[in-house]
Structure 1
Amino acid sequence: MDKKDILIKDVLVKNVITLNYDSPLSEALGIMKKHNFHQIPITKKKRFIGMLCLRNIITKNVDPEHTKSESLIIKTPVLNPENRIEDAVELLLNTGIKCLPVLDKNDRLEGVVSETDLIDFLTKNYSIKDITSELFTISEDQTIGKVRNMFREKNISRIPVVDKENRLVGIIRNMDLIKTMTPEKEKFYDEKIPVDKLSVKTIMTRPIVVGEEKNIRDVIPLIKKHGEVIIMQEDVPVGIITAKDILELMRFKPSKEIYVEITGLRGEEEQIKLDIDNEIKRFVQKFSRMLKNLEYLFIHVEKLRESGKRKYFDVRTRFKTPLGMFVSRAGSWDLLEAVGKALDRLEKEVKKKYDKIAEKHKI
């Protein structure tokens, strides 16, 4: 069956666990840990009112026993059973969340569709070197508090732990932080020491690793089970692949010219959109003169937090060229500046590789 013919009703997960809006966060965290859920639909009078996301809980300084789930829910786009899976892919990438609700005509929850429900529908195989995302790591000497800050500031939900030689020794996922917020925390630390001052070694777990020679189809089962795979060169981590990275490949539409797509600009002023479009055109024109057969440039904008009327923007890029895949990331309170920084970093990485190859073939 062609991917375009597959509807949400064909892939949605039914009979999902939900929580009432006035349930304490501690109950939600217990369910998340038990079932490895990153999101839980929240209902009021049996109607869906929003989604509770793990990443929004673990980065907040809240008391789970005395905080209602309603206080941290987010409004999400919704799907209906007749939508296509392509619609779900777009919404998941545009919003940055892991799971979308599927509602009937009466706003009652029929089920959910998650990233991992969709990645099996990737039709083309790729080398994992072509899709590896930028990798943030943390030293084994750092604290849980530092992990929490990095999750919030870098907009990530897992981070590999490395030793002084940059060798991989563990990983911390947002799911691992649950134990720092529930009664379970009493089992693994002395209450005289604040949780955020504890070593990352206290909660890190074993990472799932693969070599660079693998193809994406080799690692999809691992990603469905564990959430990510770490790409290794000997003992050193060099990249990471998550379900989001695979969804981006599913959105790719082949073209004779470079395919450019930017997401996350909904609600921004038209002049800002025009300025960003001009920045992207200048970037593409520059590299079109330098390299032939450019494939695609993806740019994703996400609003991480707000301060008054100001918004902080996180911009991620992925640029497929004949020299390989390049990624960059930048943030700023100014959207145009954030995009500019991300493109500048991308340009430096491509030129570094280009100059290295040119020098190697220099006569």
Structure 2
Amino acid sequence: MKVSEIMVTDVAKLTAEDTVAKALALMVDRSIHQVPVVDESGAYSGMIFAKQFLASSAQPASKLKSFVTSTTSLSPDQEVEDAAKTILGTGSRALPVVQDGKLAGMLSETDIAQTADFGHAIVDEVMTGAIVIEEDTPLADAVSKMRRYNISRLPVISKAGVIRGILSILDAAGIMAAPTERTSKSAAISGGRSKVKGEVKVKDIMRRAISVERGTKLNELSDYFKKNEELVVVGDGRPIGVVTPKDALELVLPKKGEIAIHIAHMGDEDDRRDIEDHLTKFVKKIQGQIRDLQNVVVYADKHRTRKYSVRCRLITGKGVINAHAVGFDPISAVKELIRKLDRQVKAEHTQKVKQRKKQRGTPRRG
């Protein structure tokens, strides 16, 4: 299947002279986290992301030219499987489809997930553990939590721990960018805790969460993903994990007969190689403990505080092992990440050994 067969051609786009406020209004209206930027001739210039505005104290009146980011592009004739690998490798939700320098369309992880066959895989195998927020929490605190964990969404719970809704970066950006009588039109979107931001609570702007039970097959979720970027996996009404189209696609990454390590967000090639070298050694070390390891997906980010955060997902035939670490350089961050992964792998391996011994020690009835 070719990219041209499933890409979206009715694409919202902006120019470098448009403002941050206009971009955010468009994102909120279309429920999209990124918008392509084109010049007067329709040539693709780059992309802008909602996350950028929250991370950079952007002024609503600022021109977008300061925020345009160069991205990888896809071609209409590219195979969808190859495009999926490219999208996951960049860590973007979607990439532009460019032909002769002009923007021809967009292809998102959601578009691909709706065409993929996940076999008998269930949500338990790909979900990420849920980091939650209480509904009465101030919005500013929720945004800080998303920044701290480098995530885009938070399941919202009651004091009793029951799921009440979902809050995303886009929800927060929309409310904080909107001018009110008590905030200046030039107030920074992610600046200090303004009066309005302090008054707004998570429950005031959260959306209804779409939830599924553990054991739900991924192939049953395509219709949900058409209108929702995330599904909350629940047990007894309480959030256990979150599943996104990206999580599902990681399960069907192209395999080459050996364990593949996919690193996203890291632009520096030397840092990328260092991270890959450390993880390759770690993967070889644990292969005796995890025999069905299929893919390793890493998201590495550099922050304004000069810190690096690294998230990793070890995708196995029976589930996903997640870890997150922070360091002042990529190597210290990945070493801490490996220590955390190693502890989890050892704990799971020990549990499996105990279960096997218990099964062998159980007398047969006859």
Task: Give me the TM-score of the superposition, normalised by structure 2.
Answer: 0.84
> Which shows bigger deviation, 82-91 or 18-27?
82-91
Cα–Cα, structure 1 residues 353 and 195, in superposed 2: closer, same or farther, change >3 Å?
same
Structure 2 partner of 1:179 = 175
The structure, 1 or 2, with the larger RCO (C-alpha pairs under 8 Å, 6+ apart) is 2
CA contact (8 A) 2:311 2:322 kept: no
Q: What SS does the aligned partner of 1:232 have?
A: strand
Cα–Cα, structure 1 residues 156 and 124, in superposed 2: closer, same or farther, change >3 Å?
same
Q: Any idea what the Cα deviations from partners look like across 1:232-290, whole Å, max 9, x if unmatched?
A: 111221111001112212214274xx6232323553328x7257425532x33443333
Q: Distance in 2 between matches of 1:63 and 1:175?
A: 16
Instruction: Verify: 1:118 aligned to 2:112, yes or no.
Output: yes
Q: Distance in 1 between matches of 2:194 and 2:8?
A: 44
State which of 51, 61, 66 in structure 2 corresponds to 1:71.
Answer: 66
Q: Which aligned pairs between 1:37-76 and structure 2 lie closer than 5 A?
A: 37-46=32-41, 47-64=43-60, 66-76=61-71
Shift of 1:202: 1.7
Q: Any idea what the Cα deviations from partners look like across 1:193-246, whole Å, max 9, x if unmatched?
A: 331453212211211100002100112221221111001111221111001112
Q: Output the amino acid matched with 1:55.
A: K
Shift of 1:352: 2.5
Structure 1 partner of 2:188 = none
CA contact (8 A) 2:136 2:201 kept: yes
State which of 299, 302, 317 in structure 2 corresponds to 1:301.
Answer: 299
Structure 1 partner of 2:185 = none
Cα–Cα, structure 1 residues 185 and 237, in superposed 2: closer, same or farther, change >3 Å?
farther
Q: Distance in 2 between matches of 1:192 and 1:328?
A: 33
Q: Distance in 2 between matches of 1:142 and 1:259?
A: 42
Q: Any idea what the Cα deviations from partners look like across 1:100-120, whole Å, max 9, x if unmatched?
A: 111222x21111111111112
Structure 2 partner of 1:253 = 255
Q: Which aligned pairs between 1:122-133 and structure 2 lie closer than 5 A?
A: 122-125=116-119, 126-133=121-128
Structure 1 partner of 2:287 = 288
Q: Any idea what the Cα deviations from partners look like across 1:83-128, whole Å, max 9, x if unmatched?
A: 22233212221222212111222x2111111111111232232111
Identity of aligned residues (%): 24
Q: Distance in 1 between matches of 2:240 and 2:53?
A: 29
Q: Distance in 2 between matches of 1:74 and 1:211?
A: 38
Cα–Cα, structure 1 residues 87 and 254, in superposed 2: closer, same or farther, change >3 Å?
closer
Shift of 1:182: 1.4
State which of 203, 206, 211 in structure 2 corresponds to 1:204.
Answer: 206
How many pairs were matched up?
345
Structure 2 partner of 1:341 = 336
Q: Distance in 1 between matches of 2:160 and 2:279?
A: 39
CA contact (8 A) 2:289 2:349 kept: no
Structure 2 partner of 1:89 = 84
Q: Output the amino acid matched with 1:50.
A: G
Structure 1 partner of 2:277 = 277
Cα–Cα, structure 1 residues 304 and 151, in superposed 2: closer, same or farther, change >3 Å?
farther
Q: What SS does the aligned partner of 2:88 have?
A: helix
Structure 1 partner of 2:190 = none
Gaps of 5+ in 2: 183-192, 362-366
Shift of 1:328: 1.8
Shift of 1:303: 2.3
Q: Distance in 2 between matches of 1:275 and 1:68?
A: 35
Gaps of 5+ in 1: 1-5
Q: Distance in 2 between matches of 1:39 and 1:209?
A: 25
Q: Output the amino acid matched with 2:109.
A: E
Q: Output the amino acid matched with 1:37.
A: I
Q: What SS does the aligned partner of 1:170 have?
A: strand
Shift of 1:300: 1.2
Q: What SS does the aligned partner of 2:226 have?
A: helix
Structure 1 partner of 2:311 = 315
CA RMSD of aligned residues (A): 2.7
Q: What SS does the aligned partner of 1:80 have?
A: coil
Cα–Cα, structure 1 residues 35 and 275, in superposed 2: closer, same or farther, change >3 Å?
closer
CA contact (8 A) 1:15 1:110 kept: no
Q: Distance in 1 between matches of 2:110 and 2:340?
A: 30
Q: Distance in 1 between matches of 2:339 and 2:317?
A: 16
Cα–Cα, structure 1 residues 290 and 300, in superposed 2: closer, same or farther, change >3 Å?
closer
CA contact (8 A) 2:275 2:334 kept: no
Task: Give me the TM-score of the superposition, normalised by structure 1.
Answer: 0.85
